[in-house]
Amino acid sequence: MMTFFTIIVLLIAVLLILLVLLQPGKSDMISGMSGLTGQFSTMFGSSHANKLLFRITMGCALTIFALSLMVNIISKGSSSSANIKKAVTEGKAMPIPATSSPSSPKR
């Protein structure tokens, strides 16, 4: 189950990166749109394309946030005291190192 959620989060993260790269910068509004964003603007109109990209980006970001919370809740619920690994030295007496007195130099 955790692997499934991890794969979904990774796929949405890649989609989120692509969506952020598609959004026009402030200087693109002055110089005109080009590339794939330009095709969006001709299909929907400039302001509608920007709103659509923004809404899809926010949806992906919120989905990643929600999935991360779900994975955290699931992982906390599935870990019981039997599944928690103990430290190697827990419950064992630690040997006390013998203190050595400095020997006096021989003459």
Q: What is the pLDDT of residues 1-58, one digit of tens each?
A: 788 888 999 999 999 999 999 887 766 554 454 555 555 555 556 678 888 899 999 9
Residue-level pLDDT at 1: 77
Residue-level pLDDT at 73: 86
Residue-level pLDDT at 3: 83
Determine the average pLDDT of the residues in 85-99: 70
Residue-level pLDDT at 22: 86
Instruction: Tell me how far apart the alpha carbons of residues 28 and 19 are, in angstroms, rounded to a whole number.
Output: 16
Instruction: Tell me how far apart the alpha carbons of residues 76 and 55 are, in angstroms, rounded to a whole number.
Output: 32
Cα(first)–Cα(last) distance of the chain, in Å?
74
Residue-level pLDDT at 106: 64
Q: H-type helices in 2-93, by residue range? A: 2-22, 26-31, 35-44, 46-78
Instruction: Tell me how far apart the alpha carbons of residues 10 and 104 are, in angstroms, rounded to a whole number.
Output: 66
pLDDT band at 67 (very low <50, low <70, confident <90, very high): very high
Single-letter amino acid code for the residue at 64: I
Residue-level pLDDT at 43: 59
